[in-house]
Amino acid sequence: MKKSTYLFVVALFSIASFAQTTWNVDPMHSFLNFSVKHMGISFVDGKFDKYEGVYNGTSDDLTKGVFKFSIDAKSINTGIEMRDQHLTSPDFFDVEKYGQLNFESTKITKVKGSENQYKLVGFITIKDIKKPITFDLTYGGHLADDGNGLQRMGIQAKATLNRFDFGIAYDPSATAIAKDITLNINLEFTAK
């Protein structure tokens, strides 16, 4: 009887330690930034101000988790109102027709020999066109309690995508606006 009770308690704690947790993006401490080369000589930076994201998994093993994001395309912000209006037009994101950009991970693998480097593989959907993408992900760490009763963890993810793959073909020669967009994402997640 004692042995079976002991095994039950050990099994219960083992299950609890591997339990998936839902982590929500903390928008006050997160940034979804992008950069594109302009005229071949400089860069224009921007960000999205409205988004939702979750990570379902554990903070000690990202390889068993799943990231999901939804971004409000209307919230694009380059700091220049006229440019932002153009970016929301049919020439670019066509936000009246395609209001959301989405991402869902399919696989997370740890980079060999690294303590905090991962490859985050998934699908990104822009203008209803779904394509694979791979992010270089750096795990920033985990706080068991932030002083307000919340757990926190942070990541940074970087990737490059070709805008032509998503039907964003304004300036088809890519003379003024390069075809490659660099994504640089800093995220902080919270969980109870």
pLDDT averaged over every residue in the chain: 92
Report the range of poorest mean pLDDT among 7-21, 103-117, 172-186.
Answer: 7-21
DSSP at 74? G
Give the number of residues written for the chain: 192
Residues 99-138 have pLDDT tens digits of: 999 999 999 999 999 999 999 999 999 999 999 999 999 9
Q: Which residue has the higher pLDDT, 9 or 156?
A: 156
Q: How many CB atoms lie within 10 A of CB 52?
A: 13
As beta bridge partners, residue 151 has 191
Confidence of residue 20 (pLDDT cuts 50, 70, 90): confident
Q: How many CB atoms lie within 10 A of CB 116?
A: 14
Q: How far apart are CA 134 and CA 121, in angstroms?
A: 4
Look at residues 11, 14, 18, 117 and name the one whose alpha carbon lies nearest to residue 60: 18
Domain boundary assignment for the chain: 20-191
175 in Cβ contact with 39 (< 8 Å): yes
Confidence of residue 4 (pLDDT cuts 50, 70, 90): low
Q: How far apart are CA 181 and CA 169, in angstroms?
A: 13
Q: CATH fold of 20-191, please?
A: Lipocalin (2.40.128)
Residues 133-152 have pLDDT tens digits of: 999 999 999 999 999 999 99
| Region 69-87 average pLDDT | 98
Confidence of residue 7 (pLDDT cuts 50, 70, 90): very low
DSSP at 111? P
| Region 44-72 average pLDDT | 97
88 in Cβ contact with 95 (< 8 Å): yes
As beta bridge partners, residue 36 has 44, 181
